[in-house]
Structure 1
């Protein structure tokens, strides 16, 4: 499966060493929606991602890719330290100028 570069980075980045690389694929005004909270801008997104990785020690393996409503939708098997692991979750990404502008998942 050929994921767009920023989305590929989102799924392959490893914590904590790739925190800056992950932040770099997000637009300056990007928003990540996760577990009822919004994280705005690359630094806040990096901080959220590092905290989530430390808490859940999870990784996601993409299993399919689709386009819907101008967004890129990726289903992935997520495995980590959380109830129900592993789980198949859906991640939705908005992209502009080779940067992630919005992410739900």
Structure 2
């Protein structure tokens, strides 16, 4: 499936642990929810990205991508690494506004 540039840019940068590249995909008022915690705006999202990039070592594989409506996409990634459990399939639920991510929820 063809994903919007904001999502592909984010996923590519995030997988490469490129915090500066990943943050460019977000709107200034974006919110990310990961592991039950929400991060608001560029400063909190940048800190979350930096922590996620350094906390564990893992690989990702894109499993599927579904466009839910004009603004929402569900991307499933398979992760394997040294995090608790070692293997997980995660849904990256993106909401876009224009060409930017305004909401990302990451959950099993």
TM-score range, shorter chain: 0.7 to 0.9
CA RMSD of aligned residues (A): 1.6
Deviations 1:75-102 (A, max 9, x none): 1111222122221111100001111000
Name stretches of at least 5 consecutive residues in structure 1 with no aligned partner: none
1:24–1:42 contact (8 Å) kept in structure 2:
no
Name stretches of at least 5 consecutive residues in structure 2 with no aligned partner: none
SS of 2:10's equivalent? helix
Distance 2:58 2:6 in 1: 19
Give the alignment's TM-score, normalised by structure 2. Answer: 0.84
Q: Which residue in 2 is equivalent to 1:2?
A: 2
1:21 CA displacement: 1.4
Q: Which residue in 1 is equivalent to 2:45?
A: 45
Q: Which residue in 2 is equivalent to 1:67?
A: 67
Equivalenced residues, count: 103
Distance 1:64 1:58 in 2: 18
Give the alignment's TM-score, normalised by structure 1. Answer: 0.86
Structure 1 stretches of 4+ moved >6 Å: none
- The 1:59–1:97 alpha-carbon spacing in structure 2 relative to 1, beyond 3 Å, is farther
